């Protein structure tokens, strides 16, 4: 089945406590010089072909529900 | 004073909010998330809890429930709305209040008797306090860290729309120690602390939550006499 | 892919079956064949193997638990409404209210996956309470870990605490108390004992039945997936083709939001009066629910397994029967009520599916793809499992342990040394502030919490109009139980009794959660049997019946068994929660007094916190219980609470007077000046039972003294509450309350960090 992927990330300027914790944890494990931000990935299964209309539909879903655009950015793409 | 308390799937403190309304002399009206009627209430409380499991983001799914469409409409028309904890998160998701609440900097759920300062008494829900008054209200949340862009925070501060601020320690990392804010008009207030818990000395360390309900009663009283005055 | 049908089982008697891999013994497999008159199908084998497991059948403990039957089924407040054998015991607390409470262990899953293990432990016990028709109203959790500074504790503890909180908070159940204990013996085998309490009106009590031919069997709640059936893959590999089954997770994952909906939905179904029988799905899932429901009723049952809604379509029928997917319930409903049933489920967005019906006869028949894969007498699955009379041996080392008393340990020689040891004990991990843990739990939700941690017991208001309430405490003293399992169990019971009593509530009944090592070790079985007898003696003496319980065996790391840990959950009743007594000092100038047996007992240093903290020592004899004094103390406390004679009360237990004094001062934010009769060291650190530390207005001294004497106790004023921020023991030492408080609060955060995940 065809899939659309929506990646949601906290905006760069917004604090990401979870990412910060993971970064600290990695450093303690010896993985220095890595900086993590934690986001979400949504996999949306689509009936039939992925058309521009479908993509537009997913974008609207991302904008209204999947992401909170006050604090998060999103990217909509087709799963390859 | 008829106060509607909304129950979403996963609401938890709706019982407590209804009890607080009744204890302070009001009539509590249960509002169901799937209904599009506010039953003519004088005010609405969005209670604490984990609406829809808080699975997408806190309050994100509840915001699209039928009852919220009515709450949003009524809030714009001036209906008093109080969002407590999860209710505050719903109000932000619904854009009735600016900003967002993210995971607390300590990254755990945190339940505490929290000191607050009342920063603004110019709202429907805080007019019975005195400006600068120190109160103690229960907090209990994992995602109460208030975040907004610098411009929004400046606007809130400049317009005296930070209603409650954490003092003697910030429990969650929120910007400017913000515990609660209001909209421009002062009828919509959202805060992370739980005033509905602080109404009975047997079950809470203080009764400082009563002021919220007294504020509403005062406002509604004034509104009624103004309306009567207008028609006389 | 072929399915092993009943017809096939009859036709192929010689087929080799993986009974050993499923945990069955040869004779158990033989008796299944005898019961059926043929070999079991693989589905039947799945059912018998899970239902006859130690966890579900209590096969090693049954003969011992049966001795609880000799106890009266009456509490000080009247007869039990339901007792052992139901999902949970039900106690009449007066005014038409009943309370049901039960504790359950989730030790092993919590070691494997701390967050989910602990979370699903909470979920499981809450469904037990719900199945009694009660609204769950609070939780408590008793947690035991390896040493605080052990590396694995840093993994296990934050995960377990977050799991308990994450699940319980999301259900809207206040967490009102419990324990957090550290001991090396739990390293690699933490104990997670979750207690849930529910409230109902007498008329709403529901028991599991499945009567009425033609009534429908409904499965509702979450869909069924591969959770917790790691073991069943042995069976799947028998029935699958060459490519084999997908790997099944042995960990269950919880969905507290689903459970919250399940609670509200179920209570509304009860309210509508349309549930004829109900059973929660926990361990052994559908196997357990169908066999229990069917054997509790007066008919048979037919189930069509194809109707079970699945989350994973690759599940085999054996796996569906064994799945431990969470947040599911099964119930029996009359056909006429189905419409109403589905309407209520739809309101709460809970999936409900008819999967079968009650039939004539007494067989449980399960079909899959139109063929019968199970045809059994459900009673043989649910209740006629094997019963073992396992060998018992008093350990040879027991006498060596008893002989190794604390007499030879050096005592502090100077006031400075005593002060250092006082600080060391009070701030040791077991005595230090537990807020790091308990602040991750919501203790306020539902607005009826009258007491929560760090008070001696949790207390809930049941009736808002009259103030009627219940108090609950959980205690186990594994160190005393190691020294003497009989006496240690008695003392654990006494401690729970006392913890409830000092808050002003009347102790009425217990539930237990018995955590032991391997039952195949005769020494462990001896400990177990002794502990049961100790509990029976204690319950008889105190008049508190056992309403139910849980046994967890096989708690060990490698070959080393844990110390025997019999957890007692005590329920108390208080007529008005406004009369409750708290532990912290309240006012400067109040007198501080020690109340206890008129003739002081002896011992109490062996097995004490002092011996553990200062010398790393465990040996000798535990102190003797004093039931008359425990009962006298309870009566005194109930009366004193009613008459508002007390400013504070705190029981003496782990760490003795030293810890009671320190905690009363810290919680009240007030200092104390005391002078002790006798040897200061003995007075501060002995852990003799039946004692409490009180504070009160000097004007109340005479009336309290005569009240204590009337109950056969002595009340000895030892000092005064002061506004000077120090605790001073005349002639020995004084310590700064500020420093003490800081150190007491800092022990656990210092070891685990603020959020615990760094």
Which of B89, B95, B103 would you mutate first to test chain A, the one with the most A CBs within 10 A?
A: B103
Q: How many Å apart are CA C410 and CA C408, to the nearest integer?
A: 6
> C-alpha dihedral over C605, C606, C610, C613, to 10 degrees?
170
In this predicted structure, the answer to whether residue C242 has a pLDDT above a threshold of 70 is no
**B131-145, C10-24, C720-734: segment of lowest average pLDDT:** C10-24
- Interior/surface letters C376-397, b for 16+ CB within 10 angstroms, e for the rest: bbbbbbbebbeebebeeeeeee
User: Percent of chain C, pLDDT > 70?
Assistant: 95
Instruction: Look over chain B and give the mean of its residue pLDDT values, rounded to a whole number.
Output: 95
In the sheet that C506-515 helps form, which strands lie side by side, from edge to edge? C449-451, C458-461, C469-475, C565-574, C506-515, C546-552
When pLDDT is averaged across residues C388-404 and rounded to a whole number, the result is 97
Question: Is B9 within 8 Å of chain C by CB?
Answer: yes
User: Residue A37: which CATH number?
Assistant: 3.30.1280.10
Residues 6+ apart with CB under 8 A from C345: C220, C265, C269, C351, C352
Per-residue pLDDT of B159-169, as tens digits, reads 999 999 999 99
Min Cα separation A77/chain C (Å):
27
Q: How many Å apart are CA B40 and CA B29, to the nearest integer?
A: 10
> Read out DSSP for B141-166?
ES--EEE--HHHHHHHHHTT-EEEEE
Min Cα separation C320/chain B (Å):
26
Residue C293 lies in a domain: yes
Look at residue C217 and give its three-state secondary structure: strand
In this predicted structure, the answer to whether residue C422 has a pLDDT above a threshold of 80 is yes
Q: How many Å apart are CA C454 and CA C460, to the nearest integer?
A: 15
User: Residue C10: which CATH number?
Assistant: 3.90.650.10
Main-chain dihedrals φ then ψ at residue C331, nearest 5 degrees: -150, 165
Instruction: Look over chain C and give the mean of its residue pLDDT values, rounded to a whole number.
Output: 93
> C-alpha dihedral over C302, C305, C306, C310, to 10 degrees?
140
User: What's the pLDDT band for C264 if we cut at 50, 70, 90?
Assistant: very high
Q: What is the pLDDT of residue C209?
A: 64
Rounded alpha-carbon distances, angstroms, from residue B226 to A66, B41, C490, C660, C682: 44, 18, 70, 59, 73
Q: Which residue of B has its CA nearest to A65?
A: B60
Q: Per the structure block, which two tokens stand in for C343?
A: 């309407």
User: What's the pLDDT band for C112 if we cut at 50, 70, 90?
Assistant: confident
Q: What is the pLDDT of residue B189?
A: 98
The residue count of chain B comes to 232
Structural domain count of chain C: 1
Q: What is the pLDDT of residue C283?
A: 82
- Which residues face A73 on adjacent strands? A9
Min Cα separation C374/chain B (Å):
38
Q: For chain C, how many helices (H) and strands (E)? A: 26, 29
Interface of C with B in 571-630 (CB under 8 A): 577-578
Per-residue pLDDT of C694-707, as tens digits, reads 999 999 999 999 99
Question: Is B169 within 8 Å of chain C by CB?
Answer: no
In this predicted structure, the answer to whether residue C63 has a pLDDT above a threshold of 90 is yes
**B10:C757 CB<8 A:** no
Per-residue pLDDT of C173-204, as tens digits, reads 999 999 999 999 999 999 999 999 999 998 88
The residue written with tokens 């006498």 in the block is C399
- Please pick, among C64, C106, C206, C302, the residue that the annotation labels catalytic: C106
Structural domain count of chain B: 1
> Read out DSSP for C661-709?
HHHHHHHHT-EEEE--SS-HHHHHH---SS-EEEEE-GGGHHHHHHHHH
Q: What is the pLDDT of residue C248?
A: 61
Structural domain count of chain A: 1
CB distance B166 to B146 below 8 Å: no
Q: What is the pLDDT of residue C226?
A: 84
User: Percent of chain B, pLDDT > 90?
Assistant: 92
Residue B226 belongs to domain spanning: 2-231
Question: Is B8 within 8 Å of chain C by CB?
Answer: no
When pLDDT is averaged across residues C217-224 and rounded to a whole number, the result is 95
C neighbour chains, 3+ CB pairs within 8 Å? A, B
Q: How many Å apart are CA C4 and CA C18, to the nearest integer?
A: 13
Q: What is the pLDDT of residue C241?
A: 39
Q: Which residue of A has its CA nearest to B56?
A: A66
Q: Which helix (H) or strand (E) holds C238?
A: helix C233-239
Q: What is the pLDDT of residue C257?
A: 93
Per-residue pLDDT of C647-690, as tens digits, reads 999 999 999 999 999 999 999 999 999 999 999 999 999 999 99
In this predicted structure, the answer to whether residue C258 has a pLDDT above a threshold of 80 is yes
Q: For chain B, how many helices (H) and strands (E)? A: 5, 11
User: Among C15, C52, C17, C21, which residue's Cα sits nearest to residue C232?
Assistant: C21
Q: What angle do CA C403, C408, C414 make, to 5 degrees?
A: 150
Q: Report the half-sphere exposure of A44 (CA within 13 A, side-chain side).
A: 21
Residue C342 belongs to domain spanning: 6-60+205-382
**B56:A17 CB<8 A:** no
User: What's the pLDDT band for C470 if we cut at 50, 70, 90?
Assistant: very high
Q: What is the pLDDT of residue B229?
A: 61
**A68:B147 CB<8 A:** no
Per-residue pLDDT of B48-90, as tens digits, reads 999 998 888 899 999 999 999 999 999 999 999 999 999 999 9
Q: What is the pLDDT of residue C85?
A: 55
User: What's the pLDDT band for A24 if we cut at 50, 70, 90?
Assistant: confident
Partners of A15 on chain B (C-beta within 8 Å) are 102, 105, 145, 147, 173
In this predicted structure, the answer to whether residue B199 has a pLDDT above a threshold of 70 is yes
Residue C55 is a catalytic residue: yes
Q: How many Å apart are CA C547 and CA C537, to the nearest integer?
A: 15
User: What's the pLDDT band for A66 if we cut at 50, 70, 90?
Assistant: very high
User: Residue B51: which CATH number?
Assistant: 3.40.50.880
Q: Which residue of C has its CA nearest to B51?
A: C257
Partners of A21 on chain B (C-beta within 8 Å) are 107
When pLDDT is averaged across residues C133-155 and rounded to a whole number, the result is 95
In this predicted structure, the answer to whether residue C86 has a pLDDT above a threshold of 70 is no
Partners of A13 on chain B (C-beta within 8 Å) are 149
Q: What is the pLDDT of residue B120?
A: 98
Residue, of C705 and C56, whose pLDDT is higher:
C705
Q: How far is CA C25 from the centre of its chain?
A: 29
The residue written with tokens 């001294």 in the block is C701
Residue A42 belongs to domain spanning: 2-78
Question: Is C753 within 8 Å of chain A by CB?
Answer: no
Question: Is C755 within 8 Å of chain A by CB?
Answer: yes
**B49:C172 CB<8 A:** yes
Q: Per the structure block, which two tokens stand in for A27?
A: 């450093």
In this predicted structure, the answer to whether residue A1 has a pLDDT above a threshold of 80 is no
Partners of A14 on chain B (C-beta within 8 Å) are 102, 147
Partners of B148 on chain A (C-beta within 8 Å) are 70
- Please pick, among B85, B119, B141, B197, the residue that the annotation labels catalytic: B85
Per-residue pLDDT of B88-118, as tens digits, reads 999 999 999 999 999 999 999 999 999 999 9
In this predicted structure, the answer to whether residue C451 has a pLDDT above a threshold of 50 is yes
Residue B33 is a catalytic residue: no
Q: How many Å apart are CA C22 and CA A47, to the nearest integer?
A: 42
In this predicted structure, the answer to whether residue C758 has a pLDDT above a threshold of 80 is no
**A25:C757 CB<8 A:** yes
Residue C81 lies in a domain: no
Q: Which residue of C has its CA nearest to B103?
A: C755
Partners of A24 on chain C (C-beta within 8 Å) are 758
Question: Closest partner residue to C257 among B53, B111, B202, by Cβ?
Answer: B53
Min Cα separation B81/chain A (Å):
21
Per-residue pLDDT of C16-25, as tens digits, reads 999 998 889 9
**B102:A21 CB<8 A:** no
In this predicted structure, the answer to whether residue B232 has a pLDDT above a threshold of 50 is no
When pLDDT is averaged across residues C522-533 and rounded to a whole number, the result is 98
Q: What is the pLDDT of residue A71?
A: 86
CB distance C122 to C194 below 8 Å: yes
Partners of B108 on chain C (C-beta within 8 Å) are 162, 165, 440, 755-757
In this predicted structure, the answer to whether residue B170 has a pLDDT above a threshold of 60 is yes
């Amino acid at each position: 089945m065809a899939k659309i992927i929506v990646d949601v990330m906290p905006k760069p300027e917004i604090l990401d406590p979870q990412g910060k914790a993971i970064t600290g944890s990695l450093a303690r494990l010896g993985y220095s010089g890595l900086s993590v931000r934690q986001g979400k990935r949504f996999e949306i299964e689509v009936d039939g072909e992925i058309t521009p209309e479908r993509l537009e539909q997913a974008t609207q879903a991302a904008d209204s529900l999947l992401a909170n655009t006050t604090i998060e950015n999103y990217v909509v793409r087709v799963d390859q | 004073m008829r106060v509607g308390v909304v129950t979403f799937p996963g609401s938890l403190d709706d019982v407590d909010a209804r009890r607080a309304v009744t204890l302070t002399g009001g009539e509590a009206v249960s509002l169901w998330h799937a209904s599009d009627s506010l039953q003519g209430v004088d005010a609405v409380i969005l209670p604490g809890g984990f609406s829809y499991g808080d699975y997408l983001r806190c309050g994100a799914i509840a915001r699209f429930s039928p009852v919220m469409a009515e709450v949003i409409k009524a809030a714009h028309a001036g209906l008093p709305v109080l969002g407590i904890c999860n209710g505050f998160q719903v109000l932000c998701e619904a854009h009735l209040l600016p900003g967002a609440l993210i995971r607390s900097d300590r990254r755990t759920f945190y339940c505490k008797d929290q000191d607050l300062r009342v920063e603004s008494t110019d709202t429907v829900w805080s007019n019975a306090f005195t400006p600068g008054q120190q109160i103690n209200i229960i907090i209990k949340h994992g995602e109460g860290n208030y975040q907004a862009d610098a411009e929004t925070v400046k606007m809130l501060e400049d317009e005296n729309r930070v209603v409650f601020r954490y003092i003697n320690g910030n429990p969650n990392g929120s910007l400017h120690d913000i515990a609660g804010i209001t909209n421009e008009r002062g009828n919509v207030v959202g805060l992370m602390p739980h005033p509905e818990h602080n109404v009975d000395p047997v079950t809470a360390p203080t009764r400082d939550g009563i002021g919220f309900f007294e504020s509403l009663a005062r406002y509604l009283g004034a509104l009624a006499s103004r309306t009567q005055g207008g028609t006389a | 892919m072929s399915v092993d049908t009943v017809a096939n089982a009859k036709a192929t008697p010689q087929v080799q079956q993986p009974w050993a891999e499923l945990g069955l013994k040869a004779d158990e497999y033989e008796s299944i064949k005898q019961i059926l008159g043929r070999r079991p199908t693989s589905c039947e084998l799945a059912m018998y193997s899970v239902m006859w497991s130690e966890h579900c059948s209590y096969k090693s403990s049954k003969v011992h638990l049966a001795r609880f039957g000799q106890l009266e089924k009456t509490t000080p407040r009247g007869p039990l409404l339901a007792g052992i054998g139901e999902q949970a015991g039900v106690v009449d607390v007066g005014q038409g209210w009943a309370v049901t409470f039960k504790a359950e262990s989730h030790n092993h899953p919590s070691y494997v996956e701390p967050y989910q293990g602990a979370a699903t432990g909470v979920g499981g016990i809450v469904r037990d309470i719900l199945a009694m028709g009660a609204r769950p109203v609070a939780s408590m959790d008793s947690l035991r870990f390896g040493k605080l500074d052990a590396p694995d504790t840093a993994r296990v503890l934050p995960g377990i605490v977050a799991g308990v909180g994450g699940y319980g908070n999301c259900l809207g159940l206040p967490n009102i108390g419990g324990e957090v204990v550290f001991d090396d013996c739990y390293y690699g085998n933490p104990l997670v004992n979750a207690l849930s309490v529910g409230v109902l009106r007498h008329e709403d009590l529901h028991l599991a039945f499945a009567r009425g031919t033609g009534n429908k069997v409904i499965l509702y709640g979450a869909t069924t997936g591969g959770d917790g059936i790691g073991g069943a893959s042995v069976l799947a590999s028998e029935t699958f083709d060459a490519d084999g089954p997908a790997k099944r997770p042995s960990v269950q994952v919880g969905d507290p939001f689903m459970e919250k909906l399940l609670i509200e939905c179920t209570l509304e179904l009860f309210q509508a009066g349309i549930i004829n029988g109900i059973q929660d799905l926990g361990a052994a899932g559908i196997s357990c629910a169908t066999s229990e429901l069917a054997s509790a009723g007066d008919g048979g049952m037919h189930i069509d397994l194809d109707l079970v809604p699945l989350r994973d379509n690759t599940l085999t029928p054996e796996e569906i029967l064994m799945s431990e997917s969470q947040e599911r319930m099964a119930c029996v409903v009359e056909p006429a009520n189905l419409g109403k049933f589905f309407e209520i489920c739809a309101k709460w967005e809970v999936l409900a599916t008819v999967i079968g019906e009650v039939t004539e006869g007494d067989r449980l028949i399960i079909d899959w793809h139109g063929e019968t894969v199970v045809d059994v007498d459900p009673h043989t699955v649910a209740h006629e499992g094997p019963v073992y009379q396992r060998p018992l041996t008093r350990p040879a080392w027991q006498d060596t342990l008893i002989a190794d008393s604390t007499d030879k340990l050096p005592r502090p020689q100077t006031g400075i040394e005593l002060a250092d040891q006082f600080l060391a004990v009070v701030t040791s991990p077991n005595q230090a502030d537990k807020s790091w843990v308990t602040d991750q739990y919501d203790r306020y939700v539902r607005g009826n919490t009258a007491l929560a941690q760090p008070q001696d017991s949790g207390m809930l208001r049941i009736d808002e109009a009259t103030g009627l309430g219940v108090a609950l405490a959980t205690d186990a003293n594994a160190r005393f139980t190691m020294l003497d399992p009989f006496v240690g169990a008695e003392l654990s019971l006494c401690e729970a009794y006392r913890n409830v009593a000092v808050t002003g509530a009347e102790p009425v009944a217990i539930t237990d959660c018995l955590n032991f090592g391997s039952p195949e070790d005769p020494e462990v079985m001896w400990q177990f049997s002794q502990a049961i007898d100790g509990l029976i003696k204690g319950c008889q003496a105190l008049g508190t019946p056992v309403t139910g319980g849980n046994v967890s065996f096989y708690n060990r790391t490698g070959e080393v068994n844990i110390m025997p840990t019999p957890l007692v959950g005590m329920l108390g009743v208080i007529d008005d929660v406004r009369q409750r007594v708290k532990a912290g000092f309240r006012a400067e100038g109040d007198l501080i007094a020690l109340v206890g047996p008129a003739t002081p007992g002896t011992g109490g240093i062996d097995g004490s916190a002092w011996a553990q903290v200062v010398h790393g020592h465990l040996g000798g004899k535990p102190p003797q219980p004093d039931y008359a004094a425990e009962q006298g103390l309870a009566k005194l406390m109930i009366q004193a609470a009613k008459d508002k004679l007390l400013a504070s009360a705190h029981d003496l237990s782990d760490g003795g007077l030293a810890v009671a004094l320190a905690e009363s001062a810290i919680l009240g934010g007030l200092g104390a000046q005391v002078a002790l009769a006798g040897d200061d060291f003995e007075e501060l650190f002995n852990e003799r039972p039946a004692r409490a530390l009180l504070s009160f207005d000097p004007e109340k001294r005479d009336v309290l003294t005569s009240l204590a004497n009337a109950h056969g106790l002595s009340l000895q004023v030892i000092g005064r509450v002061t506004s000077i921020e120090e605790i001073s023991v005349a002639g020995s030492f004084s310590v700064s309350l500020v420093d003490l408080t800081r150190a007491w609060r800092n022990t656990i955060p210092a070891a685990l960090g603020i959020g615990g995940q760094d």
